[in-house]
Amino acid sequence: MKIGFIGLGNMGAPMAANLVAAGHKVTGFDLAAPCPEGVQTARKAAQAAQGAEVVITMLPNGAILRAVAGEIIPHMARDAVLLDCSTVDVQSARDVAQIAQDAGLMAVDAPVSGGIGGAAAGTLTFMAGGTEEGFTKVAPLFDIMGQKAVHCGPSGNGQAAKICNNMILGITMIGTCEAFALADKLGLDRQKMFDVVSTSSGYSWSMNAYCPAPGVGPHSPADNDYIPGFAADLMLKDLRLSQQAAEAADADTPLGLAATALYQSFVEDEDGAGQDFSAMLPRFVSRRRS
């Protein structure tokens, strides 16, 4: 397939490299990052999009996606697919899909889970929104870049699934960290705490697969000085998207709101920026009840 790839940062570069390794012809564009080996460099986003059957975008946010989409859509071939894998707000995903459809294109929003490691290993999970036809056309690319793709419904539903999942993740990580900090103060050994909770009703992915306590449970960023992993800054971005969506949809998400406020002070006022999102544990340990 002839593929355009716009946004070759931490995630986009290894994803594009995997497409090249699978034999696809990829032309890439990024404002700052270099194209990985085997990806032909375009001078402009529009040039990467021209003549491509699928154009993939992997960009920082919805405003940038809207700007890039406005630039490339007029240059895309009819029946081509605009496949956005960035994490953006639901409304931007839906608006961009509408503009693409009005121009005779197909649009699929397919944010990912699995992080930089998953992007490099080709084991991402894609949650996709868009038509059946669009999803079917890009499904072989999901198979190369990932291990699983779920078609979640019409445009924007991929982003909806992503932010709901990450809202749960932010909330359970905070719950797990505050419980460890309480256990410490009650004199409960962390290993015993893990042994009980990981096999009891308090278990979760945050506890069982990504334990925030160093030396306890499976290997995780906690065992590597809380170097990300999944940065607290990115968790804050996703929680903010969840709250933006909740406000627009008039949904009551009090714990999502509280998690957003906690990650915001952690990242902006404490020392959380650049740390893994599980570094909430030392943050709670160092604090007293307020």
Dist CA 10 CA 22 (whole Å):
20
Dist CA 184 CA 178 (whole Å):
10
Q: For residue 150, give the DSSP letter.
A: E
Nearer to ligand NAD, 142 or 180 (CB): 142
Q: Least distance from C-beta 45 to ligand NAD, angstroms?
A: 5
Give the amino acid at 106: M
Q: Least distance from C-beta 93 to ligand NAD, angstroms?
A: 11
Q: Least distance from C-beta 30 to ligand NAD, angstroms?
A: 4
Task: Find the catalytic residue in 2, 25, 44, 162.
Answer: 162
Nearer to ligand NAD, 45 or 138 (CB): 45
162 catalytic residue (yes or no): yes
Q: Least distance from C-beta 187 to ligand NAD, angstroms?
A: 36
28: enclosing H helix or E strand = strand 25-29
Extended beta strands in 62-201, E state: 81-84, 106-109, 112-113, 124-130, 146-151
Position with the least CB separation from ligand NAD: 9
Extended beta strands in 123-191, E state: 124-130, 146-151
Dist CA 283 CA 235 (whole Å):
16
Q: For residue 83, give the DSSP letter.
A: E
Residue 37: other Cβ atoms inside 10 A: 10
Nearer to ligand NAD, 12 or 146 (CB): 12
Q: Least distance from C-beta 184 to ligand NAD, angstroms?
A: 29
54: enclosing H helix or E strand = strand 54-57
Q: Least distance from C-beta 86 to ligand NAD, angstroms?
A: 4
End-to-end Cα spacing for the chain: 57
| Structure tokens, 137 | 């056309």
Do 41 and 28 touch, CB atoms closer than 8 A? Answer: yes
CA geometry: angle 207, 210, 215, nearest 5 deg: 90
Nearer to ligand NAD, 101 or 165 (CB): 165
Nearer to ligand NAD, 65 or 197 (CB): 65
The footprint of ligand NAD (CB under 6 A) covers 6-12, 29-33, 45, 58-60, 64, 67-68, 86-87, 112, 115-116, 230, 234, 237
Nearer to ligand NAD, 83 or 181 (CB): 83
What are the catalytic residues?
162
